[in-house]
Amino acid sequence: MASGALSVKDFLDKAKLVSYGFFGLLILFLILFFSSPYLLVSKADPKKSDALVLEAIETGKKDKFKQAAALWKKGLAPVIVILHSPPNQESDLGIAGDPTSSLQSYLVSLGVDETKILVYTVESGAQEFPKTLLKIALDRQWKTFLLIGKEYDSATLLKLYRNVLEPAGIYIAVSKVNEGIGSWDWFTKPKSLESILGRLSKHLYLILLGN
């Protein structure tokens, strides 16, 4: 046999290793794919807090406001804090102009006391919401928050806020708003598939960045 020639046995052994590696990666991918909804849902238990927190950034989404009003009525927190960026066409309630009175009015229409609604404008954008909430917490000496978030955004939101708040000894959990996306059949619907995979990419990216 010529020097350096690969025997049949060596070839089969190498092919076996390659196939093991390929199928191992495939299995890991499938596990990650089908467990995506569970990775994106927060496991932190909501509890009575110093304030409920709402982010006003998504077009036409009133579900979070309704859930916040319901939790406030149940006594989970004495006040509701709304964080929003300067108004644009993508604000939660489609508001143009100064949103403060409109946001307050909508919560009041849901039964919330107007004096218990605090609206903060974050000029630098939604990425600064966690830092703004930290400043509010330190100023008012609050130690616990309950953030209202969509179900499959909850783990990502929790990670973003905890990275900023936990070093200061502040606890935050997420009250999850149901999105009507099933954890068993999400991949069978194009819109749900696109939505979940997009959020999974963002969540994994934050993990890789160490956030």
List the beta strands (DSSP E) in the chain: 51-56, 80-84, 117-121, 144-150, 171-177
How do residues 48-73 score in pLDDT, each as one tens digit?
999 999 998 754 568 899 999 999 99
Nearest to 157, CA basis, from 121, 197, 126, 116: 126
Q: What is the mean pLDDT of residues 129-139?
A: 96
Of 23 and 147, more confident: 147
d(CA 100, CA 102): 6
For residue 95, the model assigns a pLDDT of 56
pLDDT band, very low/low/confident/very high, at 12 (cuts 50, 70, 90): low
Does residue 81 surpass a pLDDT of 90?
yes
Percent of the chain having pLDDT more than 90?
Answer: 40
Domains of the chain: 51-179 (3.40.50.620)
Q: What is the mean pLDDT of residues 172-189?
A: 81
8 A C-beta contact, residue 72 and residue 114? no
- When the pLDDT of each residue in the chain is averaged and rounded to a whole number, the result is 81
Q: What is the mean pLDDT of residues 18-43?
A: 68
pLDDT band, very low/low/confident/very high, at 1 (cuts 50, 70, 90): very low
